[in-house]
Amino acid sequence: MPTAIAQQSIPYLNLDIQNGDLVFVGAQEEHLSGAINRVTHRDSHISFDHVGIIEVCDESVFILHTIGKKGSVREPLDSLVLSQTAQNRRFAVYRLTNTDQNSINQAISTSKTLLGKPYNWSYVLNDTSYYCSDFVERAYRHAGIFELEPMTFINPDTQKTDIFWVDFYQKLGIDVPEGKLGCNPNGLAANENLKVIGYLKI
């Protein structure tokens, strides 16, 4: 496998992207995506339900991420974009500021050690399965960029646990992990160490 070079840029659709950039996928209003967004959104103008790390290798662009049935994988960014385009998803590219090349290389290397693990459907942190923002936080943990925060599953409109999550965790046979440490795409996107590069034009 070719070695990634930090800060290598490559044109992708309408943007110049670099190693270590983060791709955020716009949230939907229904199902799991909507449930995640209802209890985590921070900006009424844009919300996300997925995030992954870009790796530029030679002339190819990959995404390192954890997603649904696939678990933790490295795959062409095209695969993610094409799989979500039919759902009219938006893709935002963010770049870390004040992050040196070694930290970016280390994040990509660390993320590759997490590949092959299943998706963590409980969202309770563990070392045998991951969810998307958990995967990214672990990859960059050495740099101290992101912080774990108490999770909430409370719908701000009702001030009660969102009914989706009540049913979701009943089916898993565990309590809703209200207050347990975790992270989410909207929280990562709001980090002061990130800046928006732009939106991919599909």
Q: Are 104 and 20 in contact (CB under 8 A)?
A: yes
CA–CA distance, 174 with 191 (Å, rounded to integer): 30
- Which bin fits 169, alpha (ψ -120 to 50), beta or left (φ > 0)? alpha
Residue 78: partners with Cβ closer than 8 Å, 6 or more residues away: 61
Type of residue found at 115: L
pLDDT of residue 43: 60
CA–CA distance, 131 with 201 (Å, rounded to integer): 26
Per-residue pLDDT of the chain (202 residues; tens, 9 = 90+): 444 444 668 999 999 999 999 999 988 665 554 566 566 655 656 789 999 999 999 889 999 999 999 999 999 999 999 988 767 788 999 999 988 889 999 999 999 999 999 999 999 999 999 999 999 999 999 999 999 999 999 998 899 999 999 999 999 999 999 999 999 999 999 999 999 999 998 8
* DSSP 3-state of 137: helix
Q: In this structure, which topology does domain 9-199 adopt according to CATH?
A: endopeptidase fold (from Nostoc punctiforme) (3.90.1720)
Question: Per-domain residue ranges for the chain?
Answer: 9-199
Give the residue among 129, 169, 162 at the shortest CA–CA distance from 40.
Answer: 162
pTM > 0.85: yes or no: yes
CA–CA distance, 159 with 46 (Å, rounded to integer): 22
For helices 31-40 and 163-172, the axis angle rounded to 10 degrees is 120
Paired strand residues for 92: 24, 199
